[in-house]
Structure formats: structure tokens, C-alpha cells
Structure 1
Amino acid sequence: MHTARIVLDWLRACIAAFQFLTRLPIPVQITYTDLVFRRSVIFYPLAGGVIGLLLLLASEGLGLILPPLPAAVLLLGLWVVLTGGLHLDGLMDTADGILSHRPREQMLEIMKDSRVGAMGVIVAVLHLLLKFALLYTLLESNQWDGATGSMGYLLLAIVPIWSRWFMAAAIQGWPYARKESGLGSFFQGITKWHVGISLLVALFTTTIFVKCIDSTFDTAIWPIPIYFACATCMAGWLIASYIGRKLGGLTGDTYGALNELLEAVLLLGVVICATP
């Protein structure tokens, strides 16, 4: 009974991660406690892996029936829909606050406003345009070089794994900026143990992707997870440190912004590495 209860508790945490980070239909009622929130971050890379798998399947299918341009638009739309725009909303709120160049407390107040300002819209448009251009490049590359394009699709699927892992690292690595409670406050108390286990989940999920999805991959497997881990840590640390200095820490909105910005950075790296 005790073992079954432990398994059930961890299963609830896994479901909570999927319900929070995705809009996949999971009709299970979860009681969201601080413990569930803390445990759920361990499964963030797994949720990212499912998103990545759906993007990979969609990119393969769209690439077969549509030209690269409309296929890239639909693929980007699916990417946004899978998360319900949650992280994109965080990016817009963060941009409104930080780019207002106001004192720290006013930045945090601006970020709490449910309305989107001019800077949020501008950053979101530029961000989506960059993602669209990168997806278009991958899809077009597949038209001309099937082997290289397939490799690009595989690396595309891995991107959401690592951007979501760094969310867990950021929650633990930087203080919470708001004095009052907010959505991000539910995740306080996350330890290095949570981040470490989440890292193992990210490495394992990436390795499974490389091994199972592309069985013809004839070079060593481990350089890919290591590349993503190093690139994520370096880019994530730079972005999180900049935001943390501006706000005196991170918030729920900035966790979403980190995810979006890291997706763009990692996708840029994929295009550089996987296109001729």
C-alpha cells in the first residue's frame, strides 16, 4: 500500500506537469498542493518531449503535403496551441516590464497588468517571426536534402525538452522577485535535487529520441544531449541573469519568457547545425 501511494503521488506530479505546461486533454482531477507543484518540475522535460514528438510528427506530415511556407505557419501555430500561449504570454509581460526602463517595483507592477503593452506586442511579433523563419528553413532544407532535413526534425523535437528543463533550474537558481505571492511562488522550495533529477529526465528523454526516432543515426548518441545541455545552460544563464538583475529575481512570467527565448536560441542552433 505504501509503495502504491508513493507511485500514485509521483503520477499526480507528472500529470500536473502536463496539465500546467500543455493543453493536451488529460481529464484527471489533481489537487494542486505545494508538494505537487515542486515534484511536477521533475517531469517538465518529459512534457517538453511530448510536445517535441508532436512537432516532429507534424513537421514530417506537413512537409509531405504542403510547400515549406504554409507548412511553417501551421507548424508554428501548432507549437503555440500546444501550450495555450502560456509561455508567450509570459514573454510579452516580461518585455512590457523590463523594456519600460522604470524602477524595479514599477516593472513588476507593469508585468502584473493583464493588458499587453506596445513592447510586449513588438517582442512577441519579432519572436514569432524568428521562429517562423527558422522552421521554414528546416522544412525547406528537407525538400532538398531528405537526410539533413530528417536530422533537423529530430533536433527540433529535442528543443522543447531543454527549454522546459531550464525552467526548473531557473526556479531553483534565482530568487523569487515578488514580495507578495504570485503563480511562481507555488514553486518555491524546489531544491537542487529536483533540478538534478529533472536533468536526468532531460538527458534520458533526449537519448531515447535519438536512439528510437532516428535509428539510422550512425554517430555517437551522447554528443547531442551534451550539446543541448551545454547550450541551454550557457544561454539560459545569460538570459536569466539579465532578467534577474533587472527585477531582483525571477517571476512566473519570466519563467515563461525564459522558455520562449531558449526555444528560439536552441532552434537557431539547430538550423545552423542541421542545414547545409
Structure 2
Amino acid sequence: MRTALIEDWQGFLRSLATYTRIPLNIDWDSPQKHTPSVCFLPFVGVIVALLSAWPLLIGHWSAGLQALLMMLSAVLVTGAFHEDGLMDACDGLVGGWTPEQRLQIMKDSRVGSYGVLAGIFSFALKWWLLSQWLTEALWDGSQWSILAGWIVMHSVARWLPLLLMQSLSYVSQGQSKAQQMIQRLNLRAGLWWLASLVLVWLLVGSATVLELLVALILLGLVIGCYLKRRIGGYNGDTLGASEQLAELLVLFVLLGWSA
């Protein structure tokens, strides 16, 4: 049991070091076994949410300003990890003519017009949704419900990349660091996802959890079919894009929850 917990802790630290800019001293070449780090993505989302929720402490700020600073803080904590994936994915998926060309475009570090537009519209829509949700939630006077929803958004949005990993094949041109992180979940890793589900249930209740699951599965089916047709599977950039789309979807659900 102690060995398993140590492996879990090592996997969580690797996940935190990979998906955030939190400085951690990780020995990446260590032969020590660890639980697949990708399964801790929902809990990384919890950390990101807690670190970026500080604008909620300033009660006299407007909902729009709070939303903007919360989003900016989350981007700084993650190093725009998922936003970069969204922009690269849009450049490749829309700009390429063949699967090979689309994957090659995604490997290019430069951002094209499709990526810039995707980033602008995604950020603007997320800001508007978050502002609306904060405005409605503030009428209830419950700071806890706002923080709970922010945590849920960051945790649940990271479920979708895990779903795509289980249902599609990994495709990429050449070897990449992402390939070392991405893998199908084993039983123990699946239990950690289940633990994140329980956490979300405790925060928002069973009815909202059911809505989120149904919405994510439907979005996952659409994205999965699209990726299968365009590139034959998924890669790291498309996983980042899926996380960003899932954040928007969760905010839509939260708006209905707070209404």
C-alpha cells in the first residue's frame, strides 16, 4: 500500500510539473515506477483553479474584471499549455489538406491566422461566459458556489482529453515528449479519475454531474469523429484543444446551474 501511494505521489508531481509552470525538482530519468501522470490531470485542474481564484477575494471588483484576471492567472499558472494546443490544432486541422500535412503544421511552433482567430474567439467567449456566470452567482451572495464552480470547470474540462485517449489512437510525426506522457489508463489510474468524479459530485451535486457527463460525452463523440476523419486519431495539440472546448462547455452548464 505504501509503495502504491509513493507511485501515485510521483505520478501526481510529474503531472503537475508537466501541465503547469509550478517549479518542481523532478528527476525525469529516474527508473522509479510511478502511476501514469496523465490520470492526475483533473487534480492539476483543481490546483490551477485554487491558484487563479484570488480575484474573488476582491469583492468590490466587477464580475468582468474578476473573470479577466482569473483567466489570466490560470494561463500564467499553466503556461498557456492548453491554449497553445488549441491554436496549433486549429492551424493544422483547418489549414492542412492531408493528414500528414495537418500533423506537420501542428509541429510548427509558429502560429497562423486560424490559430490566432481561434485563440481570440475562445478567450473572448470564455470571458463572456465566465462574466455572466459570476454576475448571476454574485446575486446569490455565495462566494463558495463561485469557487466550487471554478474548480469544477478546471477539473471536469480535463476529463475530455482522458476520454479521447481511451477511444482514439495516438498519431504524430516522429517522436515527441507528449508521446511519453500520453497513454491509456490502467485500473489504478481509472480509480483516480473516479476520485475526481466524486470530488465534483461533492461540489455541485449529482444532477449537475450528470449534465456535465452527458454534455462531455456528446462533445467527445463530435470531436472524436472529426479527429478520426482529419488525422486518424489524436495528438498532444488536439488534446489541448479539447480541454479548451470543454472549459467553454462546462461554463455553459454552470450558467444553467446558477440560473
TM-score, structure 1 normalization: 0.83
Q: Is the 8 A contact 2:161 2:243 kept in 1?
A: yes
**1:79 counterpart (74, 81, 95):** 74
Alpha-carbon distance in 1 for matches of 2:168, 2:30: 22
Query: Aligned equivalents of 1:10 and 1:4: distance in 2?
Result: 10
Cα distance in structure 1, aligned partners of 2:88 and 2:32? 27
Contact 2:14 2:26 in 1 (8 A): no
Q: Which runs of structure 2 are paired with 1:4-153 in the superposition (5 Å)?
A: 4-25=2-23, 27-31=24-28, 39-55=36-52, 57-62=53-58, 64-147=59-142, 151-153=145-147
Aligned residues of 1:99 and 1:119 also touching (Cα < 8 A): yes
The SS at the match of 1:65 is coil
Q: Report whether the alignment pairs 1:273 with 2:257.
A: yes
Question: RMSD value over aligned CA atoms?
Answer: 2.5
SS of aligned partner of 2:26: coil
Q: Which deviates more, 14-23 or 246-255?
A: 14-23
What secondary structure is seen at the aligned counterpart in 1 of 2:170? coil
After superposition, the C-alpha distances for 1:129-172 in whole angstroms (9 at most, x for unaligned) are 0011011112222443325x753542232011111122222222
**Structure 2, gaps ≥5 residues long:** none
Letter in 1 for 2:44: A
In 2, are the aligned partners of 1:168 and 1:195 still within 8 Å (CA)? no
Q: Which deviates more, 15-24 or 134-143?
A: 134-143
Q: Find the partner of 2:150 among 140, 153, 156.
A: 156
Give the Å deviation of 1:6: 3.4
Deviating more after overlay: 161-170 vs 151-160: 151-160
Matched positions, count: 259
Does residue 240 of the first structure (1) align with residue 221 of the second (2)? no
Extract unaligned runs of 5+ from structure 1. Answer: 211-220
Residues 144 and 10 of structure 1, relative CA distance in 2, 3 Å threshold: closer
Q: What whole-Å deviation, never above 9, does each CA across 1:176-206 have from its counterpart, x for those lacking one?
A: 1225222332145424536632431221221
Extract structure 1 runs of 4+ deviating beyond 6 A.
33-38
Q: Is the aligned partner of 1:178 residue 2:178?
A: no
Tell me the SS of whatever aligns to 1:99: helix
Gap change, CA 1:187 and 1:143, over 3 Å in 2: closer
Provide the C-alpha distance between the structure 1 equivalents of 2:34 and 2:4, rounded to a whole number of angstroms. 16
Closer/same/farther in 2, CA of residues 162 and 104 from structure 1, 3 Å limit: same
Task: Check 1:244–1:193 CA distance in 2 against 1; reply closer, same or farther (3 A cut).
Answer: farther
Question: C-alpha separation between the residues in 1 aligned to 2:219 and 2:183?
Answer: 24
How far off is 1:243 after superposition? 2.1
TM-score (norm 2): 0.88
Matched AA of 1:12 = Q
1:214 corresponding residue in structure 2: none
Q: Is the 8 Å Cα contact of residues 18 and 24 (structure 1) preserved in structure 2? A: yes
Q: 2:160 aligns with which of 137, 155, 166?
A: 166
Deviations 1:208-235 (A, max 9, x none): 434xxxxxxxxxx322333322222221
Residue 213 (structure 1) aligns with: none
